[in-house]
């Protein structure tokens, strides 16, 4: 499939998957219309990259469908001066989109095989780092925006502590078996989170809530 066709698929994604699901921030729409999603999936799935389904990347990980990223970035209200962290950046697609919205992006991923898929496509404003996802990346904190590129049951306090005052966390949060997109905000040292829509999203490893003691 040629580059021209991929461009048409991106237009179709914007029209049918983003604009119809309240992805209405012009900067987010423009960024997602320009970043070549087909280069952030495995070669055998390039032609399927713009379907509204998660895209398997290998090692049990998947790239969330476009609507999930679009809604999170829209609600996060990313500003041109923001410093951002992507947790579980996988192949780098979310980091590449976010790089068009923020001043700088740290992309945290612990699986080198996933990073290799899209590493050559990342702009200079994205810094790739490797480490446990649940620890975040304190070395470059504080961040104005922290994006989880997948669903989690729990947001560790260590990651909340890396958020600047007035900063936002964008996440797909799993609660009682239901996944909802949510925005968390840190204001004057306090943190609160507000879910806004139910979705399906691939799970990020390492964020499960520990089961309580059972007799």
**Residue-wise pLDDT tens digits, 117-133:** 999 999 999 999 999 99
Write the burial class of residue 5 (CB in 10 Å: 0-12 exposed, 13-18 middle, 19+ buried).
exposed
What is the architecture, at CATH level 2, of domain 3-198? 3-Layer(aba) Sandwich (3.40)
Q: What is the mean pLDDT of the chain?
A: 94
Tell me the mean pLDDT in the region 185-199.
Answer: 95
CB atoms within 10 A of CB 129: 15
CB-based contact 141:118 (threshold 8 Å):
no
Beta strands in 125-177 (DSSP E): 126-129, 143-152, 163-175
- Answer with the residue of higher pLDDT: 183 or 4: 183
Does residue 211 register a pLDDT over 80? no
pTM over 0.85: yes
- The C-alpha atoms of residue 209 and residue 22 are separated, in whole angstroms, by 30
Domain ranges of the chain: 3-198
């Amino acid at each position: 499939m040629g580059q021209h066709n991929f461009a048409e698929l991106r237009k179709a994604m914007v029209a049918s998957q983003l604009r119809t699901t309240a992805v209405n921030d012009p900067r987010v729409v423009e960024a997602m219309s320009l970043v070549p999603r087909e280069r952030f999936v495995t070669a055998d799935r390039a032609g399927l990259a713009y379907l509204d389904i998660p895209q398997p990347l290998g090692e049990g990980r998947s790239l969330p469908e476009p609507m999930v990223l679009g809604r999170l970035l829209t609600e996060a209200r990313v500003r041109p001066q923001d410093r951002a962290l992507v947790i579980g950046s996988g192949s780098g697609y979310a980091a590449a989109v976010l790089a068009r919205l923020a001043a700088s992006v740290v992309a945290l991923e612990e699986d080198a095989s996933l990073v290799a898929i899209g590493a050559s496509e990342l702009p200079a404003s994205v810094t790739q780092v490797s480490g446990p996802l649940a620890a975040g990346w304190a070395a470059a904190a504080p961040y104005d925006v922290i994006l989880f590129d997948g669903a989690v049951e729990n947001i560790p306090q260590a990651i909340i502590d890396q958020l600047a005052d007035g900063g936002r966390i964008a996440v797909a949060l799993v609660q009682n078996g239901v996944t909802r997109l949510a925005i968390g905000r840190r204001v004057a040292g306090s943190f609160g989170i507000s879910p806004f829509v139910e979705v399906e999203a691939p799970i990020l490893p390492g964020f499960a809530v520990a089961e309580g003691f059972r007799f």
